[in-house]
Amino acid sequence: MASSVNSGPRLDRLPISSFHYRIFWLIGAGMFFDGYDLYVGASVLGAAVATKFAVLPQVPQFISWTFVGMTIGSVIAGFLGDKYGRRFTYQFNLMVFGLASFAAALAPSMEWLIAARFVMGLGLGAEIVVGYSTMTEFVPPASRGRWMAFMAFIVVAGFPATSIISTFVIPVWGWRPMFVIAGVGAMVVWYLRKNLPESPRWLESNGREAEAEALMLKIEAEASGGRPLPPPAVPAPMPAWSFGSLFSPTLLPRMIVGSVVLIVINTLIFGFVNWLPTFFGQQGISITRSLAYTMVLAIGSLVGCAIGAWSADYFGRKPTIIGASVLTIVAGAIYPYMKTPETLLSVGFVLIVGIYILTALLYGVYTSELFPTEVRLRANGLCNMLGRGATVVSPFIVLWLFKGYGVAGVIGLMIGLLIIQIVVVAALGIETNRRGLESLTAKT
């Protein structure tokens, strides 16, 4: 990265101010509806099967085509975001999944709904890549873990929000209003986010130094409130990064780590959490009670993200990822043997907490930190492509395991993936806690 503007160290030494909160909430608002759209499928599918709008074999088709779209959207967003900027890309993808949500609400058949869900997936996959990466480039390293984990908290808030809304809406009005809510919310946020600034790091890395300098002066004036700022760190010599650099000895191990952890967390969420209403329904629990059970467990997702936000900066990224993986394995091993509602919900709550500590770290914090600005979105797009790609096939595997072995079979798959994750993070992962983004890839 060119050092004439020195945008990275200048951003890193800013005090937390209204500027950071404004960026957080404008990006977070779009990410919330992205999370809402991600999780709405669980409630909609349970209702669609119960009302005979869909049959059980169409459930994995709906989920898989969602992730085909998200896989493609992740890659497209990575290349668009690195070439045309973060601002253009996050506005474009928000419009895509907002308009597609309205189309889903009007679906006359399950086939139509699956097609609309594919288009929604294009925008959903892009939003995850661009939202987290953009916020990473604005916040200082001392508190970056908390900021990014709380961004994941905002996304995950779509889970309990969807559960609460669906508990009251679906039994009375059916599943279609769930998509209308998503579409209206996305369009409102699209309008509000038009004033979000471009990333100064991206502008500088693309040779637009005059624009980066002008934007930095505005940001510094707002963040400082007219008070003197400490001098920025002296920029370290930086390599020239290109797409081919992702396969270099420095970045290839990080690509492996990013890909593995996103494969694991996507499978945990969309191979287990997202299937909860369907699991409950097939076990003879009524749709109203299954949605209520899911809503209780969804509270654990917020608790998990909050713990992740605290532990990311306190313990560091690697210890938190490994510790949460162990917690999830232990709770998962016990969960299939719980029979009473009290034990089912108690152990399930702990299991969900473990999964969402990982969600906060792996989606929100860790993977966005691993790569330099020039290739950050493309690297994250490719990692997300593999993560989302795994969920294209995992619903069919989950359905086969559930039919043959029940919930225990599904949990067995999750535990195996978590063990792989622990080994890969311990062996190949780097610790990014409290380190400036530029220092993670500077020449030594």
Nearest Cα to Cα of residue 259 among 413, 362, 145 = 362
**DSSP string over 340-380:** SHHHHHHHHHHHHHHHHHHHIIIIIIIHHHSS-GGGHHHHH
Query: Can you tell me the mean pLDDT for 306-327?
Result: 95
Query: Can you tell me the mean pLDDT for 421-438?
Result: 94
Domain presence at residue 206: yes
Q: How far apart are CA 323 and CA 313, in angstroms?
A: 14
Domain presence at residue 25: yes
Q: How far apart are CA 55 and CA 37, in angstroms?
A: 21
Residues 189-199: tens digit of each pLDDT: 999 888 889 99
**DSSP string over 86-152:** HHHHHHHHHHHHHHHHHHHHT-SSHHHHHHHHHHHHHHHHHHHHHHHHHHHTTS-GGGHHHHHHHHH
Residues 44-55: tens digit of each pLDDT: 888 888 888 888
Instruction: Please give the pLDDT value at position 238.
Output: 72
- Backbone φ and ψ of 249, nearest 5°: -60, -25
Lowest mean pLDDT among 222-231, 416-425, 427-436: 222-231
Q: How far apart are CA 150 and CA 92, in angstroms?
A: 24
Q: Which domain holds residue 435?
A: 7-228+238-440
Domain presence at residue 424: yes
Nearest Cα to Cα of residue 180 among 117, 95, 106 = 106
Domain presence at residue 108: yes
Residue 175: its H or E element: none
Domain presence at residue 1: no
Instruction: Please give the pLDDT value at position 2.
Output: 43
Residues 243-274: tens digit of each pLDDT: 899 999 999 999 999 999 999 998 988 777 76
Q: How far apart are CA 163 and CA 238, in angstroms?
A: 47
Q: Are 350 and 331 in contact (CB under 8 A)?
A: yes
Q: Which pLDDT band, with edges at 50, 70 and 90, does 444 fall under?
A: very low
**DSSP string over 246-283:** GGSTTTHHHHHHHHHHHHHHHHHHHHTGGGHHHHHHHT
Q: Are 378 and 246 in contact (CB under 8 A)?
A: yes
Burial of 108 (0-12, 13-18, 19+ CB in 10 A): exposed
C-alpha triplet 293, 365, 217: angle, nearest 5° = 130
Q: What is the CATH number for 412?
A: 1.20.1250.20
Q: Beta-carbon neighbour count of residue 296 at 10 Å? A: 16
Domain presence at residue 196: yes
Domain presence at residue 358: yes
Domain presence at residue 198: yes
Q: How far apart are CA 162 and CA 42, in angstroms?
A: 9
Q: Which residue has the tokens 């973060």?
A: 86
Q: How far apart are CA 434 and CA 412, in angstroms?
A: 35
Number of domains in the chain: 1
pLDDT over 80 (residue 443) = no
Q: Are 309 and 359 in contact (CB under 8 A)?
A: no
End-to-end CA distance of the chain: 15
User: Which segment, 92-96, 240-244, 362-366, 415-419, is predicted with the most confidence on average?
Assistant: 415-419
* pTM score above 0.75: yes
